[in-house]
Amino acid sequence: MASKEKSSYKSIFKATSLFGGTQIIDVFINLVRGKIIAVLLGPSGMGLNGLFVSSVALINNIAGLGLNYSAVRDISKSSESGDIDKLSRTLKVFRRWLFGSALLGLVAVVALSPLLSRFAFKSGEYTWAFMLLGFMVLFNILASGNSSLLQGTRNLKWYAINSVTGTLVALLVSAPLFFFFGVKGIVPALILSSLITYILSVFYTSKVKTTDVKVSWKETYSGGADMVKLGVAMMLSISIGSFTGYLLNNFIINSGSVADLGLYQAGMSITSQSIGLVFSAMAIDYYPRLAAVSEDNGKVREMVNQQGEVTLLIATPILLMLVITAPIVIQILLSKEFLPITGFIRMLAFGMIFKAASYSIGAISFAKGNKKVFFFLEGIYSNVSMLIFSIAGYLLNGLAGLAWAFMLAHLVYFVIINIVTARLYEFSLSNELKKVLLFQISLMAAVFFSFRLLEGMASYIVASLLLLFSIVYSFRQLDKMIGIKEFVNKKILRKEN
C-alpha cells in the first residue's frame, strides 16, 4: 500500500478514535446530568427542563440558518488553500452572519415567549422564563458556530476539548443550582451553561491564526449567501425528517397502540446509539476533508471509498455484538418488559449495514454545495421513502414489519445514491470497498439467521464465533491500512523495554 494512501487511512482512523472517545465521554456526562436532574428535581422538574429545551429548539434550529453545517464547507476550502487572507475573509463573513442569526434567535424567542408559555404550559406563567431563555439560544448559536470554525480548520484536538468541556460545564453549573434552588434553578442553569460554553469556544477559536482583513457589507452578503442557502437546505432536510418521524409516530398510535410506539422508539434508540457514535465521530473529520477536495472528482472518489471501508470495518463488529447481546442490553438500559423487541433490534442492526455503506457516499452532494441534489436525496426522498416503507411494513407485520421496512429503505437508498453520484460526480465503488461490503453483509446475514434457524445456546455459540471472525478480519484489514501492529511495537513495546 502506498505511503500516501496509508497516511489517508491513518488520518481517518485517528479522527474516528479521537472523536469516538469524545462522544462516549459526552454521552456519559449527559447520563450523569440526567441522573442529577431526576434525583434533585424529580419527574416534574425533569419534565419542566425538557419542555424548556424542546420548546426553543425549533427556533434555535431555524434562526441558526444551518450555518453550523454549511460553513464548514467554505471554511475547510479556504483553510486547505493555505491562503491566510482568504481564510480570514471567509471567517469574517461567517462570523457576521453567525452573529446576525444569533440575534435573530434571541429576538424570536423574546417575541414568541407568551405563545411558547401558553403552548407548553397552557398559561402565561412562564413568559419571563422563555424571554430569558432567548439568551440561551443566542449563546448556543454562537458556540455552535465556533465549533464549526474549529471543525472547518481541522483543529481536531481543540474541537474535541471544546466538546467535552462544554458538556462538563453544563453538569458542573447545573448541579449546584438544582441543589440550592430546585426547579427555580433550571432557567439560570440553562443560560449559564450556554454562556460559559460560548466563552470557552471563543478561547479555543482564538488559537486559529488569522489576519486583519477588510470586508465590506456587500461582500459579506454575497459571500455568505451561498453558505446560508446550503445551510437552509440542511435545516429543511432535518425539519422534514422530524416531521415525517412525527407522522409515523402518530400513524403507529392510531393504527396500533401506544405500547407499539414505545417499543419502536426504544428499539430505534438503542440501535442508533450503539452505532451513532461511529457515524458522528467520522463526520466531524470526514466532511471538512471531503469539502476541501470537492472540486476534484478523482480525489472525492478515493476519499469516499476509503472512508466507506473504515466505516464498515469498525461498524460491523459493533452491530454484530449488538445482535448477540441484544437481550442483555435491553435489560440493562430498559427492563424485562422490553425483551419482545430483541428480534426487532436484530433486524435494525442488519439494516444499519446498508446505512453504514451509504454513509460516506451521501455526503458528496453536500460537500460539493449541490443544494438541489442534497435536498432531494436527504430531505425529500430519504424521509418520504422511509415513511412509506414504514407505514407499509407496520400494516403488513406490525413491529417486525417496521424493522424490515428500515432495512429495505436503506438498501434501496444505497442503490439510488450510487446511481445518482455515478451520473453526476463520476463516483463508483472501489473493488476494495465492494469486497469489504460483501463480506460484512454475509457475516451479518449469517449471524442474523443463526438466531432464526438455531435454538438456545447453539445460536449464541455460532453467532459468537462469527463475531470473533469479524473482529479478526476487521483488525487485519485495518492493520494493512494503518499498521496497528507496527504502532504497538514502536510506541508501546519499546517503552516497556
Average pLDDT over residues 374-402: 88
Quick one: pLDDT at residue 10? 61
Weakest mean pLDDT among 53-57, 277-281, 467-471, 492-496? 492-496
Q: Which one is predicted more confidently, 480 or 31?
A: 480
- Domains of the chain by residue range: 10-215, 241-497
- Reading the block at residue 496, the C-alpha cell is 516497556
Spatial distance between the Cα atoms of 255 and 259, rounded to a whole number of angstroms = 12
Spatial distance between the Cα atoms of 396 and 392, rounded to a whole number of angstroms = 6
Please write the tens of the pLDDT for every residue from 430-442.
898 899 899 988 9
Closest CA to 158 of 192, 206, 198: 206
Quick one: pLDDT at residue 416? 92
In the predicted model, what is the mean pLDDT of the chain?
Answer: 81
pTM: predicted TM-score of the whole model, two decimal places: 0.75
Please write the tens of the pLDDT for every residue from 45-59.
766 776 777 677 777
CB 485 within 8 A of CB 479: yes
pLDDT band at 138 (very low <50, low <70, confident <90, very high): very high
- Reading the block at residue 410, the C-alpha cell is 436503506
Three-class DSSP labels, the chain: CCHHHHHHHHHHHHHHHHHHHHHHHHHHHHHHHHHHHHHHHHHHHHHHHHHHHHHHHHHHHHHCCCHHHHHHHHHHHHHHHCCHHHHHHHHHHHHHHHHHHHHHHHHHHHHHHHHHHHHHHCCCCCHHHHHHHHHHHHHHHHHHHHHHHHHHCCCHHHHHHHHHHHHHHHHHHHHHHHHHHHHHHHHHHHHHHHHHHHHHHHHHHCCCCCCCCCCCHHHHHHHHHHHHHHHHHHHHHHHHHHHHHHHHHHHHHHHCCHHHHHHHHHHHHHHHHHHHHHHHHHHHHHHHHHHHCCCCHHHHHHHHHHHHHHHHHHHHHHHHHHHHHHHHHHHHHCCHHHHHHHHHHHHHHHHHHHHHHHHHHHCHHHHCCCHHHHHHHHHHHHHHHHHHHHHHHHHHHHHHHHHHHHHHHHHHHHHHHHHHHHHHHCCCCCHHHHHHHHHHHHHHHHHHHHHHHCCHHHHHHHHHHHHHHHHHHHHHHHHHHHCHHHHHHHHHHHHHC
Quick one: pLDDT at residue 103? 92
CB 197 within 8 A of CB 170: yes
For residue 299, what are the contacts with CB-CB under 8 A and spacing of at least 6? 293
Residue 12 pLDDT > 80:
no
Please write the tens of the pLDDT for every residue from 200-220.
888 888 877 878 778 777 877
- Reading the block at residue 299, the C-alpha cell is 480525489
CB 312 within 8 A of CB 16: no
Quick one: pLDDT at residue 449? 86
Residue 23 pLDDT > 80:
no
Average pLDDT over residues 448-457: 83
Cα-only R_g, the chain: 24
